[in-house]
Amino acid sequence: MQDAPVIAVDGPSGAGKGTISHLLADRLGWHFLDSGALYRVTGQACLIEGVSWDDHPAVTEVARHLDVSFTYAESGEVLVAYKGADVSAVIRTEEGGRGASTVAAIPAVRDALLARQREFCRPPGLVADGRDMGTVVFPAADLKFFLTASAEERAERRFKQLISKGESVSLPRLLEDIQERDARDSTRSVSPLVPAEDAIVIDSTTTTIEQVFDQVMLEVARKGLY
């Protein structure tokens, strides 16, 4: 099922998955899958096409025919486009996160995006960032991490991140959003947010990005992947 080695990085919002996955893909020279971006673009595409997030058959059609592309800018930044138009910034807003988490709870939408996610698995290897990389999309992954941190710490991180991008947000509102999103992601019937049985769980509530990355690299080396 897998054409190349895969490292799965799962966990809740703000746990540091994107940060650690990017560092890891850079260090190994592997491809990178931002599966959350596919759900975010699906939510955004619905807004663009005038499809309500509650209209499950219509949202599924949008996901099935999603015209999305990922390209790398010279700065190293990933540009995400829908039908050729840049949606990189708008999909990263809190509204974008809410849309993603709403459409991601529709089983047929997850099915529609499954094959597309697996296509990212190409030599020399793939670092896959998401919620169900180790449980559903790449169950045979060579190494699985589940990153987590307290909801308060994750809200604080998200707050700083959004403020630095010039978004006006309130910390209590963000904490509420994170808790709502955690609940929705963890209780949905398909691909709920749970660590794979063989995942290495890393809680970064009180550790720095560097410390988490060192721990991850130790496991990668132990597996002979670097």
Ligand X SMILES: Nc1ccn([C@@H]2O[C@H](COP(=O)(O)OP(=O)(O)O)[C@@H](O)[C@H]2O)c(=O)n1
| Closer residue to ligand ADP (CB): 89 or 111 | 89
Binding site for ligand ADP (CB under 6 A): 11, 13-19, 157, 161, 204, 207-209, 212
Tally of residues, the chain: 226
The SS3 call for residue 129 is strand
Is 13 among the residues that bind ligand X (CB under 6 A)? yes
| Closer residue to ligand ADP (CB): 52 or 205 | 205
Find out whether 84 is annotated in a ligand binding site: no
How many residues bind ligand X, per CB under 6 A? 15
Is 177 among the residues that bind ligand X (CB under 6 A)? no
Q: Which of 120, 127, 181, 220 binds ligand X (CB under 6 A)?
A: 181
Partner whose footprint covers residue 132, from ligand X, ligand ADP, none (CB < 5 to 8 Å by kind): ligand X
Rounded least distance, CB 133 to ligand X, Å = 6
Per DSSP (E only), the strands in the chain are: 6-10, 31-34, 68-72, 78-82, 85-86, 126-130, 143-148, 200-203
Rounded least distance, CB 10 to ligand X, Å = 7
Euclidean distance between CA atoms 36 and 92, whole angstroms: 10
Beta-sheet pairing, 126-130 with 6-10:
parallel
Find out whether 12 is annotated in a ligand binding site: yes
Find out whether 13 is annotated in a ligand binding site: yes
Q: Do the Cβ atoms of 7 and 220 come closer than 8 Å?
A: yes
Is 131 among the residues that bind ligand X (CB under 6 A)? yes
Is 130 among the residues that bind ligand X (CB under 6 A)? yes
Q: Which of 101, 135, 148, 204 binds ligand X (CB under 6 A)?
A: 101
The SS3 call for residue 67 is coil
Question: Alpha carbon of 79 to those of 8, 9, 32, 34, 135: distances in Å?
Answer: 22, 21, 13, 12, 28
Question: Alpha carbon of 221 to those of 17, 24, 27, 194: distances in Å?
Answer: 19, 12, 12, 25
Rounded least distance, CB 221 to ligand X, Å = 26
Any residues with CB less than 8 A from the CB of 74 and at least 6 apart, and which? Answer: none
Token pair 């099922």 is found at 1
Partner whose footprint covers residue 157, from ligand X, ligand ADP, none (CB < 5 to 8 Å by kind): ligand ADP
Is 185 among the residues that bind ligand X (CB under 6 A)? yes
Binding residues for ATP: 11-19
**Which positions touch ligand X (CB under 6 A)?**
13, 18, 35-36, 39-40, 97, 100-101, 104, 130-132, 181, 185
